[in-house]
Structure 1
Amino acid sequence: MIYPKNAVEKLGFIEIKDLVKAKCLTEAGKELVDKVQPQTKLENIDRFLRQTNEFKQVLLHDAPLPIDHFYPIKSFIEKAKVEGSFLLEDEFYKILLSLRTVYAIIRYFNEREQQYPNLELLFEHLPIEKSIVRHIENVLDERGKIKENASRLLLEISQQILKSEQEARKRIDSVFKQAQGQGWTADGNLTIRDGRLCIPILAENKRKIKGLIHDVSATGQTVYLEPEEVFQLNNKIRDLEFERRREIIRILIQLTTELRPHVPLLFSYHGLLTKLDFVRAKALFAIDIEGQMPEIINQPSISLTNAKHPLLFLTAKKEKLMDVVPLNLKIDEVDRILLVSGPNAGGKSVCMKTVGLLQLMAQSGFLIPCDSSSKVGVFKQFFADIGDDQSIDSDLSTYSAHLSKMKYFTQFADAKSLLLIDEFGTGTDPQFGGPIAEAVLEVLNKKKVRGVITTHYSNLKVFASNQEGIENASMLFDNEAMKPRYILQIGKPGSSYAFEIAQNIGLPKEVIHLAKQKIGVQQKKVDTLLVDLEREKKEIYDTKTAIQLREKEMLSQQSELTELKTYLEEHKSQLIKAAKEEARAIIKNANKLVENTISEIKSTQADKDKTKKLRASLQQEADLLKEKMVKVVKPNIIVEPSEDLAVGDWVRIVDTGNEAQVIEIAKNNLILALGELRTVVKKNKVEKLRGKEKAKATKRFKSVSSDSVADFHPEIDVRGLRTEDAINKLELVLDRAVMIGYPSLKIIHGRGDGILRRFIREYLRKYAQVSRFEDEHADRGGDGITYAYLA
């Protein structure tokens, strides 16, 4: 139940329905949108939401749904149901096109069995009755016109008409040429008058040719005459055309009679098209508002994360304004009523309306703009007091109208009711309006009502802070910029910032000073305290944000140190072994050098100058060997890249010396291509190739790639294989095709029961490099062969 009736309009639900209706293709679909009401059964809400969500997935991620023709065929079916009636050619043609659409849709979902289980419920057990289409196709051609051979008699009549028309044309042409030769005709050619072919004759010559005058020109100088010898032929043609029309009507009556037994099934087909149109419109609207399916729970509670008002969101997107500030709140058994306070134009009413509108939408089967982690419960009743409902007819003032609603709320609201009140208690003297509002709030709280209430009254803020079940909340305000932030903060009331806003818009200082003197001392203290609390809260929030950022940086650095330590521990033994081997080689070379030096000294018989030169050379070699030893003892384990790597760069893997090309970068990891193989390596374990090294690597890669292309066969036959074996075989060929840059694959899987085709296409959808896939041409295998195109 919704009270009052105009609550849905004030919350914006009517506007939502209008936007959804605009996306419907049929009037019947629009009528379904008009009938939408919030549901109270959990299974219905869940099914409607899942159907919309599944259709959204079809629109975003699957092949287009074959919905080429949506016609309002219900009136045609109603007409065909009546004995003795018959449908016209155009009506049969629209039924034919609609049936083709229905059958294509049923086949579409049969090919995706269990992929969209809730949408499949729309046409469960609905058969494809091909005989209906066959009967119509036997009579109508592809343009929707009666075929000339729809019956033997119709064919004979049509041939007689054609023959008579040709004879009549031949004779009138002969008369026309003769009249032209005599100069009896007016300028112009043969023309049609009253459905008859006539000769334009000058008025003074009209007696020279026997015939029937059908018309006279505006000036009276030309008459349009049908020659007597053609007159009888034209009458015969007219009679044949009447016979032809009678035969067409007979055929249409017969076709309608053949259609009549299928009327119940045709109504079912019409219902399917209408429901699909309706769900499709909801899915398209969900895409526009970035709607998601929340979790549905069977209790009266709400938990919204990053929720946005859909109408504000659409306006901001259309006008390219700043994004709508998301809303986060929770209403449950513990915190049942949210009392929202804060400055004027700060977003209190929008907050309240967002909660009400999203709840109405969810219970009506519409996806809502929020995170999918949000939770939406089920409410049996919706109560709202929004805006000014004063009535001259009922002699109600604004406050009287509010009180009438309060009376109704306190009488009929319960724990399964959602209550939405804007500016609670306003409309009368605050000295009395405040206590009355507090009393009403206390009664509603005792009845465990759920809801959102906005207010400026301080006594309500104090009452909420001391009452279980009611939670204070406020819309944040930027004290320095003097602008609202539109952020909802749970747990504390907010100031109205009346003096600050008045000062900001330029109200004279003496006026503000006098106003401050006139308000109570206690009220001034409360308001000042709220402002100070909000300022301190913002400072704490900024500090907390800075700390979290610093913690994130420290965690990142710690992670890098951990990775470095792990690398050192993993490669410690290898590094030590390599260092020892290099050290042995250095020592061996040093020993050889010393032996050679001694031998040369002996051969020169210890000549002083020669010995001095040999010692200097030995010392130089010793210094070089010493440097090498230092490098061996302190090896450069980690390669620090001098610049950022990019996809397409060529690198050398330090550990193995292999050259490879970067094909993907994921944080600190590189995915490299080694010919047709792939490997994952840390960034700090490669060196970037430049100049000639890069050119040589590229040249080697091209030669390997060309060989790969020459050996590669872009056709794979998986017929007769088990699903797992077929997928494995397909995966190998796909990977190789991606590596060598091949544009497409031909996959032969056969028709059968369609199981292997479905699994293969599901795998192709998940393969990131596959841009699209399609059936082979019907003449060359049709849906028994799939072409996959690679991005």
Structure 2
Amino acid sequence: MATGAPLYRAGADGLLRKQGADRDLSTATICSDAALQRLEYPRLKVILAGMTQSEPGRLLAERLLPSLDDGVIVTALDEVDEAVRFLHDGQSPGLGGGRDIASVVEQARAVGSLVAIEDLQKVAASLRVTEDCRRWFRDRNAELALAQVAATILPLGELQRRLQDSIGTRGELLDSASFELGDLRYRIRQVRSRIKQQLDQLLTSEQYASCFQERLITERNGRYVVPLKADCRGQIKGFVQDESASGQTLYLEPTRVLDDNNHLQQLLREEQREVQRILLQLSDLVRRDGRQLLSNQAALSRIDLRFAAARLSRAFHGCRPELVSEPVIEVKQARHPLLLEKDGRIDPVAAVAIDLLMPSGCRALVISGPNTGGKSVALKTTGLLLLMLRSGLHVPCHPDSRMHLFRSLHVDIGDEQSIAESLSTFSGHLVKIRNILEVADAETLVLLDEAGSGTDPAEGAALIQAVLEHLCRQGACAMVTTHLGQLKHFAYGHPQIENAAVEFDPETLAPTYRLSYGIPGASSALATARRLGLPQLLLERAEEFIGREERDHSRLLAELHTRQQALEQQLREARQARSQAEAAQQLRRGQLQQLKEKKRDILGRATRQAEELINSTQTRMKQLRKRSAPTTPQDATAEKALLQEAREELTPFKPRRKRRGTTPEVVQTGELVRIVALGVEAEVVRASGTNVDLLVSGKRMRQPLSALEQFEPRRFVEAKPARKQVSRQLSERHVSTQLKLVGERGEDAVARLGPFVDDALLHGLDKVEIIHGSGAGILRRLVREFLAEHRGVSAFYAAPAELGGENVTIVELGDK
């Protein structure tokens, strides 16, 4: 199905507008109030308002109406998209506590007007919430649409500080509102304390103990008094301010507190004047900043509404379908939003999902089928989803959906009977249709429920056929529900009109509330009556009244629907299987990628560990070389243990050589074998039990049989012809156990040192001495560095003091 052209273009001011729409549409409406009521749009607004956080946001949601300004709609949907992403990430601004202050600003508009403390407290609360909202978005991406809305909130620092210093959390005027007020209240407290102290002394006086009804200080006419027995009148000088209803108690103001009471009244009057002055100042500030206060509240309510719309979208798994300029409706898996509400909560699976399809070229859709099957719900769902999009709200459907934003919606659902206007049900429908035909155009969507009912079926069907033809010529789109067979046949033969039917279970004949397209639906009135429990005898009699042709026609439609449902079920199963296969393939690709990444990670960690270990070992080896040679055998043993420990740390990282041959049980002199650990060939010189003396590159070493590998077939050293000039045999050669290097240059000394150690190893010496002297210590350091690297040296240390000390290095030979 071809995709429609883009609905919007960018204007010079950067706003997105519908192509060809440049009029001011701020006051235009998409449908009548009656249509909003029929589609239960007010109930949707109640749910939306319940998801707001602030009072201004709630009021804005309650006043929400569908808009014809496409730029406003796109902006609203963009902002809802951003709010959904914020909520998905667990982020949202705290907007609770925001109060509506429009009436307060209006009250303060007149010069000299006084704003009550409780209203000023609302202003203070609104300032706190708007400032918190501004700061929250300040830490987000400034290019976001909602962040730009929040940027219009301007801080009113002076007003906020004055209100914070003047009004407490319980709505009282604080002493810090002004210095004069604080001083007056301090003096008032002092006078009150002095009056109470004098009256306490009077009440506790033994002289007048019998004169008082009870020891109580109270107030009458704003003055402190004590309860005096009427019989004791005249015993205490003072003024009677009041008396009890029985006349037994007189409330007396003693003369001793008269001056203080007068002073207190004067201070209280001064306090009232100061309070009045402060409230006038605060009211002037509210009047001065009134315009910005309203602007801040508008931004706050807009942000609150967008986040409420995002919460609603997440609650019913809503999304923003693709908006196209072509008059098509392709809303997949649509659910009626109000059917999702259950016990005050939104259940996204409470309603059956249906596909609402009016493809390109289709101007009218005739929906038929049994009663209680969901025909009217399909109409109401279509209308309400359009209203939601026009209100900047997400709709509960599949993301792969498309919908045109029709600019005019006309609804004829329900009984239009009016006794006051002398209209019958049918007449009421005709009046509504007449009004629709007068204004319908290419941007009109018409929803007609039970079209052609209320009169003779043939005439009603003929009338609706003419209406649908007229609407198609005007370019309007229409969705109608009907039980009239004549109208179903008409839709089947018209190129711009398509049939649809509500599905039902072929076994139970119960409705499934889904729509199938291309085939009309049977009304199945008798089946519905049977399902609802009407008497069987009555149903059998009704079948007798129905003609055989009509029964065959209904049976044929039912059979066609059964086959179509079976084919659609097979198609759904095939699509599901394909989807599962694609998901499995994607999963395998993901797992393979994870394995590759894990392999790279393991290799990287191993490389880093190896590098760290090598660096650590090299550092330790350098430290061992720098240390002076051990002076005692115990020191040499300790250093040998340290070296062995370092080698063991490297053992796990040595490459493991695979054994290619078999482990020999017996070897012969002159046989060639392979040393597995070294991966080199060696000649057997002598076999002694499980140990074998080997010759490797002119050097002799001893290895166990288990460390060797025998070639298959076995290999031996080729016999060499006897030379005419034979040097002395090795056994006859004298090998010294000492090497004197004193006075020689470093390079020459090292050149003599290597052959000396090799000869000692070949002749099986266990220990030799190297005399290098002391001097500057350079020769000694070179000798010991060489010995540390030689594989045949197991340990070396300084000779005892009596044998030369640091001038001589004793070397122990053998495998490391």
TM superposition score normalised by structure 2: 0.65
Assess if the C-alpha contact under 8 Å between 2:522 and 2:558 holds in 1: yes
1:397 counterpart residue number: 424
1:499 counterpart residue number: 526
Assess if the C-alpha contact under 8 Å between 1:331 and 1:451 holds in 2: no
| Alpha-carbon displacement from aligned partner over 1:626-657 (angstroms, at most 9, x marks no partner) | xxxxxxxxxxxxxxxxxxxxxxxxxxxxxxxx
* Secondary structure in 1 matching 2:330: strand
Assess if the C-alpha contact under 8 Å between 2:501 and 2:519 holds in 1: yes
1:78 counterpart residue number: 106
Write the letter of the residue equivalent to 1:309: H
Q: Which one of the candidate residues 198, 219, 224 is aligned to 1:192?
A: 219
Assess if the C-alpha contact under 8 Å between 2:133 and 2:150 holds in 1: no
List aligned pairs for 1:535-546, cutoff 5 A. 535-544=562-571
* Secondary structure in 1 matching 2:181: helix
1:109 counterpart residue number: 137
Query: Cα distance, 1:391 vs. partner?
Result: 1.1
Write the letter of the residue equivalent to 1:315: K
Matched, 1:415 2:442: yes
Inter-CA distance 486–254: structure 2 relative to 1 (3 Å threshold): closer
Q: Which one of the candidate residues 352, 356, 367 is aligned to 2:394?
A: 367
Query: Cα distance, 1:560 vs. partner?
Result: 11
Q: As a proportion of its length, which structure holds more helix?
A: 1
Matched, 1:326 2:353: yes
1:428 counterpart residue number: 455
Write the letter of the residue equivalent to 1:71: R
Query: Cα distance, 1:533 vs. partner?
Result: 0.7
Inter-CA distance 62–271: structure 2 relative to 1 (3 Å threshold): same
Tell me whether 437-446 or 473-482 shows the greater mean CA deviation.
437-446
2:515 counterpart residue number: 488
1:42 counterpart residue number: 70
1:351 counterpart residue number: 378
List aligned pairs for 1:632-711, cutoff 5 A. none
| Alpha-carbon displacement from aligned partner over 1:363-400 (angstroms, at most 9, x marks no partner) | 11222111233223211111111111111122111111
User: 1:390 & 1:256 partners in 2: Cα distance?
Assistant: 55
1:89 counterpart residue number: 117
Query: Cα distance, 1:354 vs. partner?
Result: 0.5
Q: Which one of the candidate residues 264, 271, 293 is aligned to 1:244?
A: 271
List aligned pairs for 1:168-183, cutoff 5 A. 168-178=195-205, 182-183=209-210
Assess if the C-alpha contact under 8 Å between 2:30 and 2:67 holds in 1: no
Inter-CA distance 302–182: structure 2 relative to 1 (3 Å threshold): same
User: 1:517 & 1:60 partners in 2: Cα distance?
Assistant: 61
| Alpha-carbon displacement from aligned partner over 1:709-752 (angstroms, at most 9, x marks no partner) | xxxxxxxxxxxxxxxxxxxxxxxxxxxxxxxxxxxxxxxxxxxx
Write the letter of the residue equivalent to 1:397: S
* Secondary structure in 1 matching 2:554: helix
Matched, 1:33 2:61: yes
Write the letter of the residue equivalent to 1:410: L
Percent identity of equivalent pairs: 30
Assess if the C-alpha contact under 8 Å between 2:184 and 2:271 holds in 1: yes
Assess if the C-alpha contact under 8 Å between 1:495 and 1:531 holds in 2: yes
| Alpha-carbon displacement from aligned partner over 1:276-304 (angstroms, at most 9, x marks no partner) | 34334433433443332222233433221
User: 2:286 & 2:348 partners in 1: Cα distance?
Assistant: 56
User: 1:186 & 1:546 partners in 2: Cα distance?
Assistant: 94
Inter-CA distance 538–282: structure 2 relative to 1 (3 Å threshold): closer
List aligned pairs for 1:530-609, cutoff 5 A. 530-544=557-571, 584-585=660-661
Assess if the C-alpha contact under 8 Å between 1:420 and 1:452 holds in 2: yes
Assess if the C-alpha contact under 8 Å between 2:335 and 2:351 holds in 1: yes
Write the letter of the residue equivalent to 2:294: F
Assess if the C-alpha contact under 8 Å between 1:210 and 1:227 holds in 2: yes
User: 2:305 & 2:323 partners in 1: Cα distance?
Assistant: 22
User: 1:92 & 1:315 partners in 2: Cα distance?
Assistant: 40
Assess if the C-alpha contact under 8 Å between 2:415 and 2:425 holds in 1: yes
2:412 counterpart residue number: 385
| Alpha-carbon displacement from aligned partner over 1:11-65 (angstroms, at most 9, x marks no partner) | 1112112323344556654543344332223221111222233334434534341
Query: Cα distance, 1:456 vs. partner?
Result: 1.1
* Secondary structure in 1 matching 2:225: strand
Inter-CA distance 279–544: structure 2 relative to 1 (3 Å threshold): closer
Inter-CA distance 237–509: structure 2 relative to 1 (3 Å threshold): closer
Assess if the C-alpha contact under 8 Å between 1:53 and 1:283 holds in 2: yes
Write the letter of the residue equivalent to 2:111: E
Write the letter of the residue equivalent to 1:346: G
Query: Cα distance, 1:121 vs. partner?
Result: 4.0
Matched, 1:305 2:332: yes
Inter-CA distance 99–511: structure 2 relative to 1 (3 Å threshold): closer
Unaligned runs of 5+ in 1: 568-580, 596-791
Tell me whether 141-150 or 102-111 shows the greater mean CA deviation.
141-150
* Secondary structure in 2 matching 1:92: helix
1:53 counterpart residue number: 81
Assess if the C-alpha contact under 8 Å between 1:362 and 1:376 holds in 2: no
User: 2:585 & 2:299 partners in 1: Cα distance?
Assistant: 59
Assess if the C-alpha contact under 8 Å between 1:42 and 1:296 holds in 2: no
Assess if the C-alpha contact under 8 Å between 2:356 and 2:382 holds in 1: no
User: 1:128 & 1:300 partners in 2: Cα distance?
Assistant: 46
User: 1:559 & 1:23 partners in 2: Cα distance?
Assistant: 38
User: 1:265 & 1:111 partners in 2: Cα distance?
Assistant: 23
Q: Which one of the candidate residues 157, 165, 174 is aligned to 2:192?
A: 165
Assess if the C-alpha contact under 8 Å between 2:321 and 2:402 holds in 1: yes
| Alpha-carbon displacement from aligned partner over 1:530-556 (angstroms, at most 9, x marks no partner) | 111112223334445566677788889
Q: Which one of the candidate residues 253, 256, 265 is aligned to 2:283?
A: 256
Assess if the C-alpha contact under 8 Å between 1:179 and 1:185 holds in 2: no
Inter-CA distance 364–198: structure 2 relative to 1 (3 Å threshold): same
* Secondary structure in 2 matching 1:183: helix
TM superposition score normalised by structure 1: 0.67
Assess if the C-alpha contact under 8 Å between 2:416 and 2:428 holds in 1: yes
User: 1:154 & 1:565 partners in 2: Cα distance?
Assistant: 77
User: 1:490 & 1:86 partners in 2: Cα distance?
Assistant: 67
Write the letter of the residue equivalent to 2:474: K
* Secondary structure in 2 matching 1:6: helix
User: 2:228 & 2:480 partners in 1: Cα distance?
Assistant: 89
Q: How large is the RMSD of aligned CA atoms in angstroms?
A: 3.5
Unaligned runs of 5+ in 2: 1-28, 596-656, 672-816
Query: Cα distance, 1:124 vs. partner?
Result: 4.2
* Secondary structure in 2 matching 1:224: strand
2:242 counterpart residue number: 215
Q: Which one of the candidate residues 38, 48, 67 is aligned to 1:10?
A: 38
Assess if the C-alpha contact under 8 Å between 2:203 and 2:209 holds in 1: no
Inter-CA distance 483–142: structure 2 relative to 1 (3 Å threshold): closer
User: 1:560 & 1:281 partners in 2: Cα distance?
Assistant: 36
User: 1:335 & 1:85 partners in 2: Cα distance?
Assistant: 63
Tell me whether 364-373 or 32-41 shows the greater mean CA deviation.
32-41
Query: Cα distance, 1:411 vs. partner?
Result: 2.6
Inter-CA distance 548–354: structure 2 relative to 1 (3 Å threshold): closer
2:232 counterpart residue number: 205
Query: Cα distance, 1:163 vs. partner?
Result: 2.6
Query: Cα distance, 1:350 vs. partner?
Result: 0.6
| Alpha-carbon displacement from aligned partner over 1:563-620 (angstroms, at most 9, x marks no partner) | 99999xxxxxxxxxxxxx979445x66999xx9xxxxxxxxxxxxxxxxxxxxxxxxx
Query: Cα distance, 1:112 vs. partner?
Result: 0.6
Inter-CA distance 582–351: structure 2 relative to 1 (3 Å threshold): same
Assess if the C-alpha contact under 8 Å between 1:299 and 1:378 holds in 2: no
Write the letter of the residue equivalent to 2:112: G
* Secondary structure in 2 matching 1:382: strand
